[in-house]
Structure 1
Amino acid sequence: MFDSDDDGLISAADLIGTVRALGLELSAEQAAEFVAAADGDGDGLISRAEFDEVRAGQQVEDGNSWVEEAFYAVDTDGDGTVSVEELVEFAAGLHSLFTVDEADGLLAGYDSDGDGKLTLDEFVVLFTGLLAAITPDPAAETAGTAA
């Protein structure tokens, strides 16, 4: 999702494209600052290991988390939760269509209180889980080509 050119690294340009696809704004300066903050080896790119480190430390804190911003972008009716319908609409906006049943199944796996909607905390768990699932693991790819 973040690695738009599939080179195994996230650049500021990759980050801007992904954030804008989510319907959010991110300036070149903000993207560069984010990359610099996550870039442990100073090469100007975020590797899988660096990304995992940032993701593991991701916390929602008083309105300054991009995951929280994504939550409020998906919560189109403003009720403080994400419904199956809002999840389907969100996916359609990313050109990734899934059925109501698929969205319901995805949501149910993260709906810890069983109310049929995701709270912000549940959304953060879903979002970071999705990021982990869609971010390629270069070590696994290398192992698959070595056989």
Structure 2
Amino acid sequence: MAEKMINVVASSSGSASKVFPKKYDVFLSFRGEDTRRNFTCHLYEALMQKKIKTYIDEQLEKGDQIALALTKAIEDSCISIVIFSDNYASSKWCLGELFKILECKKEKGQIVIPVFYNIDPSHVRKQIGSYKQAFAKLEGEPECKQMERCSY
């Protein structure tokens, strides 16, 4: 599975970077506590071994304004891989990244690859289970109101 995904990214990033020169081939969006030390770090290493320039939030420089740095990294990427995990939707940061990723998909044609890590894709699509709980908890917050107005 991971090897197939890497091959897709490698072939996509090669052609996409010629048309749209970007700083990164891939931006990884993930919930750190769920996947950072297992799936995500293995995916990151595999992409780097294939010489695919990949952004992961550990590349933030001390003193960087996190929101601005992440926004710039998303905009400077040809492909975003969104790793949906059980707690992804409970993070305002993750939802903010996802909002920006979908904005770049819509406006700039960025390729978005969803990965479902230990979660049924229907939980994300239908917003049930942990996703239902997370959205209910976040409902009414100002950041989420802006996201609700956008349809992708």
Q: Which has the higher contact order (CA 8 A, sep 6+)?
A: 2
Largest Rg, 1 or 2: 1
Question: Is TM more than 0.5 here?
Answer: no
Higher share of residues assigned strand: 2
TM-score, normalised via structure 2 length: 0.29
